[in-house]
Structure 1
Amino acid sequence: MPHLLLIDDDQAILPQQVRAAFSGPTHTVEIACSGAAGLAKFAARTPDAVLLDLRLPDQSGLDVYMKIRSIDRRVPVVFVTMTQGADNAIEAMKLGAFDYLFKPVDLKQLQQVVSDAFVVSAKMREPAIVADTTDDPPVDGALVGNCSLMREVYKSIGRVSAQNVPVLISGESGTGKELVARAIYQHSDRNEGPFLALNCAAIPEQLLESELFGHEKGAFTGADRRRIGKFEQVNGGTLFLDEIGDMPLGLQAKMLRVIQEQQFERVGGNETIRTDVRLIAATHRDLKTWSNDGRYRADLYYRLSVFMIELPALRDRENDLELLVRHFVKRMNPELAREIRHIDSQTLEILRAYNWPGNIRELQSVLKQAMLHSSGDVLLPSFLPKLDAIEESSNHDTDNASSVNFEKIIASLLRPDAADIYDIVHRQLDLILLKQVLDFTDGNQHQAAKILGISRQTLRVRMRELGLSVTQSVEQNEAADV
């Protein structure tokens, strides 16, 4: 039987509301009219939840709250007050309060918040469903996983790290390709040299060439001084080029030369510069198919793929999800000022049922959102953000987009608590359509907008909303109108 303690000097309205909302025999309610009386009742019989007024006749509600936490920090505390300012609410939540209600209290809201507090309190007193099985401190950037596919990845890292050859890491977005690149670097003979990472898809073509190879003063408008590129900066070390499949064809020939001969010229310069760089590249694309189709230089693909490592998607990693959840929760506890030590079994079931289109990166985001909404030391299902039911959207590489079955997607979304189906389905359709059209035009937004029959401004706005990027610069796209 859940036991609620109300600490409030108002002896009229709120006690009546509480007794009406949580009447016996299913609940018990105890009332104290001062901070001292409330603390005495708390010490005598630990409640399942506390309703605490911020302003009490003998002391501050925040002071009472801190004393309650020193006795038993597992008990959820909900503040209630007449004060409408934001500062007190923010301070209370920062200190770990379960929730914050303003007087006059809405009865339905009161019932919902306190009922949720009872659930959290009960879960925190249950034996741990899932607990950490290792005392190793969580390391930011560590590779985590024990499944057979990840064990093969570890073996591959061991085989190639000491070899001075290019490595191509493939896998869906968010699978941890940069972590693998860093592991190769750390276990190589170059681990005392520099390591630099560059995302080829995030930089326009003209700027990407300058980032990689540098430029001379006056090489182009705005080049007011010489710039040293990454291949010079990382001399003697390792350069990681993420999303190398998005590198424009014009740059691929220059990239081939630097891999073969370890030499290049800066943009706008004639001086040949020699370098000693180990190249590790990554892509979410099928570069072999692209090279066969003429969309990627076959000779560059063969140079890059001397040794290949394929990273599995999170949904294919057998029982690793539970291990990853524990690892990230433990790692993010200090960062988010939380003390979550256990994962509820239902929470794990929900996470296992999801298809994780964004892989590890998405899992980290979901856990961070859940922890920010959490209270206590158990991660409950109610803390999780809403997870899309669109399993077919798991493949962000829309080269296979034609296989998406929208009838199945819509059917999976049709349920009593469904909402925003129109936006969800149209977002998925736009993601597929815009990605394929932009691939067809090699990133030319002007041509893509013309094919789609929309303005370039509309296209750019929608691309930002969907998180799409191309390697061609805005200036190049605008030049197409001239």
Structure 2
Amino acid sequence: MARILLIDDDPTVIPAQVRHTFAEPECEVEIAEDGETGIARIRARAPDVVLLDLRLPDQSGLEVHEKIRAIDARIPVIFVTTAKTSDTAIEAMKHGAFDYLTKPLDLARLRAAVGEALDVARRMRSPVVLGDPSDSPEIDGAMIGGVPAMLDIYKAIGRVAAQDVTVLVTGESGTGKELVARAIYQHSARAKAPFMALNCAAIPEALLESELFGHERGAFTGADRRRIGKFEQCSGGTILLDEIGDMPVALQAKILRVLQEQSFERVGGNDTIRTDVRIIASTHRDLRARAAEGKFRSDLYYRLGVFAIHVPPLRERLDDLPMLARHYARRFGRELGRDVREVAPDTLARLRQHAWPGNIRELQSVIKQALLAARGSTLLPAFLPPLTPPERDESASGATASRNGADLEVLVRSAFEAGGDDVYGEIHRQVDRLVLTLALDSTSGNQREAARMLGISRQTMRAKLRALGIHVGHSVESDEGN
């Protein structure tokens, strides 16, 4: 359950809107009507996100913000202001506020801002456990493995975390590069400061520069206010530039300057902005080869590669597979209401035969699907989904359909063997559980988008999730207006 603290002296309208937008059981909303009450509640129990009015009866919102940062600079603070061109709110952004919204609140923007803030808070606070977290299967951020290559990664993290140098993390997609970056952050001197991750491949080139460096009002069409970029907003903390190999060449020169001088200009501005950030970069691409092709600046490559950590693909550390499979079976079993404690030896044998092109991310998906079909406390081979990638020709498509039918038959037969007087209903519940979980996986936890894709209402989806006991650890609502 996400905890949101609203500090606002409005007794009715704003609290009602926030409680309506972030309803239980997904969220818990607390209200404080003045700054001192809000600070006291933060000291007693840190919230995940703070919504803070700029004008409070006992002190200004800026003063409260400074006190919050002194308590824990990792708490995302979203300012709420009546002025649409508030220099005060922009000043707060320069000092580390996460975002600011104007009254009357646009609920779509509110959902989007709080959703992003919750994701940032999770990345900062979720502990990255190195090794074997078998005693704590519910841990989300776990780098599991005991093969020599993984032990070398743990040692490298220990050597570089405290050094405040740039780190380049390489490896195929799905290997856990972000976990390495978060582990470096959490073991560094900046662990109490903000951590932000930005996927350079997921943001259009036209917007990426503004996201990183900010822009001045009027810098381009639609720039109706000054924007504070991530490098300014995260000063004192750590930034992960994920998939930096896909960053446009034109932006790479500005990144190089930040690395060398810790300074930059906003888009459309002439003032030099000073910052103090540690950069961790990650990529699945071969930067040396891209530099040779002219697609990546060689000087930036050498600057990023001061200290490099390579994360091996899953197929190169299959000895870790039993530990990984057991961990995810127990962790996801808790989420999906399955009391699975063991993975059968023949199940592990089948898993070892797979090439795992999607690495850890693919293994997690396979384990989830197997749990949905599982009966009893042991994960058997019959519960596994097809592990062979589908072929493109018609005969292979027919074979894939046959395998999928066989997989569905396993689920139905398992329900018959379990007995009871509501087998039909149980089969439907298992199908619902599978479909809802896969829909949420495909939309990264966005319940509104998953409901739209399935052709059901948001309320129906919530009711089904509650009835099935499916807990969504992170839910982001889509912002249709932006």
Normalised by the length of structure 2, the TM-score is 0.54
Deviates more, 1:181-190 or 1:217-226: 217-226
Distance across 2 between alignment mates of 1:374 and 1:264: 55
Q: SS of the counterpart of 2:168?
A: strand
The reply on whether 1:189 has 2:193 as its aligned counterpart is no
Matches within 5 A, 1:42-81: none
CA displacement 1:416-467 (0-9 Å, x = unmatched) = 983469xxxxxxxxxxxxxxxxxxxxxxxxxxxxxxxxxxxxxxxxxxx9xx
Q: Cα offset for 1:220? A: 1.1
1:388, distance to aligned residue in structure 2 (A): 2.0
Whether 2:154 is the aligned partner of 1:172: answer no
Q: Which residue does 1:300 correspond to in 2?
A: 300
Asked if the contact 1:138/1:331 (under 8 Å) is kept, the reply is yes
Q: Which residues of 2 match residues 324-343 of structure 1 at below 5 A?
A: 324-343=324-343
Tell me the residue number matched to 1:21: none
Structure 2 gap segments, 5+ residues each: 1-131, 403-441, 443-482
Task: State how far apart, in whole Å, the 1-side matches of 2:401 and 2:333 are.
Answer: 32
Judged with a 3 Å threshold, the aligned counterparts in structure 2 of structure 1 residues 315 and 226 are, in CA distance, closer, same or farther, namely same
Alpha-carbon separation, structure 1, partners of 2:159 and 2:397: 52
Counterpart amino acid of residue 384 in structure 2: L
The 8 Å contact of residues 133 and 139 in structure 2, kept in 1 or not, is answered as: no
Please tell me whether the aligned partners of residues 245 and 285 of structure 1 are also in contact (alpha carbons under 8 angstroms).
Answer: yes
Amino acid in the other structure paired with 2:249:
L
Aligned to 2:243: 243
Instruction: Assess if the C-alpha contact under 8 Å between 1:166 and 1:304 holds in 2.
Output: yes
Cα distance, 1:414 vs. partner? 8.0
Q: Does 1:319 align with 2:319?
A: yes
Match of 2:399 in 1: 418
Matched residue SS, 2:399:
coil
Superposed counterparts of 1:147-162, under 5 Å? 147-162=147-162
- Structure 1 unaligned spans of 5+: 1-131, 391-408, 422-464, 466-482
> Quick one: which amino acid aligns to residue 399 of structure 2?
A
**Structure-to-structure mapping, 1:202-213, within 5 angstroms:** 202-213=202-213
What is the 5 A alignment of 1:13-32? none
SS state of the match for residue 161, structure 1?
helix
Higher relative contact order (CA 8 A, sep 6+): 1
Cα–Cα, structure 1 residues 299 and 341, in superposed 2: closer, same or farther, change >3 Å? same
Q: Is the 8 A contact 2:161 2:188 kept in 1?
A: yes
Q: Where in structure 1 do 4 or more consecutive aligned residues deviate above 6 Å?
A: 413-417
- The C-alpha deviation readout for 1:245-264, integer Å capped at 9, x for no partner, is 00001101111111110000
Shift of 1:273: 0.4
Q: Please tell me whether residue 268 in structure 1 is matched to residue 268 in structure 2.
A: yes
Amino acid at match of 2:318: E
> Cα offset for 1:270?
0.9
Does the Cα contact within 8 Å between 1:170 and 1:283 map onto a contact in 2?
yes
Superposed displacement of residue 137, structure 1: 4.4
Give the Cα–Cα distance (whole angstroms) in 1 for the partners of residues 288 and 238 of structure 2. 24
Aligned equivalent of 2:287: 287
CA distance in 2, matches of 1:389, 1:283: 25
Could you say if the C-alpha distance between residues 296 and 420 of structure 1 is closer, same or farther in structure 2, counting changes exceeding 3 Å?
A: farther
Whole-angstrom CA distance in 1 between matches of 2:133 and 2:262: 47
Q: Is the 8 A contact 2:200 2:241 kept in 1?
A: yes
Using the TM superposition, give the Cα deviation of residue 375 of structure 1 relative to its aligned residue in structure 2, in angstroms.
2.1
CA distance in 2: counterparts of 1:268 and 1:415, whole angstroms: 55
- What CA distance in whole angstroms lies between the structure 2 residues aligned with 1:294 and 1:134? 46
1:386 Cα deviation (Å)? 1.2
On the 8 A contact 1:354/1:389 being kept in 2, the answer is no
Task: Report the residue type matching 1:145 in the other structure.
Answer: G
TM-score (norm 1): 0.54
Q: Deviations over 1:394-435 (max 9, x none)?
A: xxxxxxxxxxxxxxx899x988983469xxxxxxxxxxxxxx
Aligned partners of 2:133 and 2:327 also within 8 Å: no
Q: Alpha-carbon deviations, 1:125-149, whole Å to 9, x = none?
A: xxxxxxx994344411121111111
* Residues 350-365 of structure 1: pairs in structure 2 closer than 5 A: 350-365=350-365
- Name the CA distance, whole Å, in 2 between partners of 1:355 and 1:246: 26
Q: Give the root-mean-square deviation of aligned CA atoms.
A: 2.5
* Aligned partner letter, 1:310: H
Q: Which amino acid aligns with 1:290?
A: R
Q: Secondary structure at the match of 2:294?
A: coil
Deviation of 1:301 after TM superposition, in Å, equals: 0.4
Per-residue CA deviations over 1:53-81 (Å, capped at 9, x if unaligned) read: xxxxxxxxxxxxxxxxxxxxxxxxxxxxx
Task: Assess, with a 3 A threshold, how the Cα gap between structure 1 residues 410 and 230 changes in structure 2: closer, same or farther.
Answer: closer
Q: Aligned AA for 2:176?
A: G
- 1:144 matches 2:125: no
- CA gap of 1:214–1:418, structure 2 versus 1, over 3 A, is same
Aligned positions, number: 273
**What corresponds to 1:108 in structure 2?**
none
Question: Residues 335 and 420 (structure 1 numbering): CA distance in 2 closer, same or farther, change over 3 Å?
Answer: closer
The separation in 2 between residues aligned to 1:276 and 1:164, in whole angstroms, is 11
Q: Is the 8 A contact 2:133 2:144 kept in 1?
A: no
CA deviation after TM superposition for structure 1 residue 175, in Å = 0.2
Q: Is the 8 A contact 1:366 1:384 kept in 2?
A: yes
Instruction: Report the structure number with the largest CA radius of gyration.
Output: 1
Q: CA deviation at 1:334?
A: 1.8
